[in-house]
Amino acid sequence: MKLTPTRVLDLVADFLVAAIAAWIATRVAYSSFPPISVLVGASLYPVAAIEAALAFVIRSRVSDSEIGDGRHQLHPITVARAVALAKASVHVGSIAAGVWLGFLCWVFPQRGTLRAAAADSPGAIVGMLAGAALVAAALWLEYCCRAPDDPTDDAATT
C-alpha cells in the first residue's frame, strides 16, 4: 500500500461535516454547554508547535542525509511515525476547526442577546485558529517527511 499526501478534499469534507454537526448540536443544546474559556480553545497550539519543530528537525536531517540506523542518525521508523502523527493530526485539526466554526456560527450572532455567547466567542475563535494551526503544522510535517528523489544514474551510464 502506497502512502500518499493528504488530499485537500478530505480535509474540506472533515471540516464541513464537523462544522454542520457542531452548528446543529450548538443550536439544540447550547444551554447545557459549559463556559468556553480561551484556554480550552488554545489546547491544540502546543501540539502544533511540537509538530512544527519536529518538521524542521526532520527536514534538516533529510537534507543532510542523516537518515539511517547509525548512532547519530534519525532512524527511518521515527520518520514513519512522524508521518503517521502528521496524518492523524491533520484530520484532528480540520475537524477541530470545523467544530469551532460550527459553534461560532451559532454563538457569534447571539452575542448581543446572550451574555454567555459573548463570553464564549473568544475561546471559540482561539480554538478555530488553533485547529487551523494544527492543520498547517501537520501538513508541513508530512511534507518534510517525504523521501528525497532518488538521484539518477545517468552520469554513471554515459
65 sits in the region (left: phi over 0; alpha: psi -120 to 50; else beta) called left
In contact, 79 and 73? CB cutoff 8 Å:
no
pLDDT tens string 45-92? 999 999 999 999 999 988 888 888 888 888 889 999 999 999 999 999
Nearest to 132 by CA among 89, 102, 76: 89
Please state, rounded to an integer, the average pLDDT across all residues of the chain.
90
- More confident of the two residues 64 and 29: 29
Overall average pLDDT of the 130-144 stretch: 97
Residue 68, C-beta contacts closer than 8 angstroms, at least 6 positions apart: 74, 75, 76
Hunting for cell 493528504 — which residue is that? Answer: 6
Q: Exposed, middle or buried: residue 87 (CB in 10 Å: 0-12, 13-18, 19+)?
A: middle
Percentage of the chain exceeding pLDDT 90: 67
Nearest to 131 by CA among 102, 91, 104: 91
154: confidence class by pLDDT, cuts 50, 70, 90: low
Cell numbers found for residue 67: 537518515
Domain boundaries, the chain: 35-147
| 60-85 burial code (b ≥16 CB/10 A, e <16) | ebbeeeebeeeeeebeeebbeebbeb
Distance CA 137, CA 47 (A): 9
Nearest to 12 by CA among 123, 101, 114: 101
Is residue 105 predicted with pLDDT exceeding 60?
A: yes
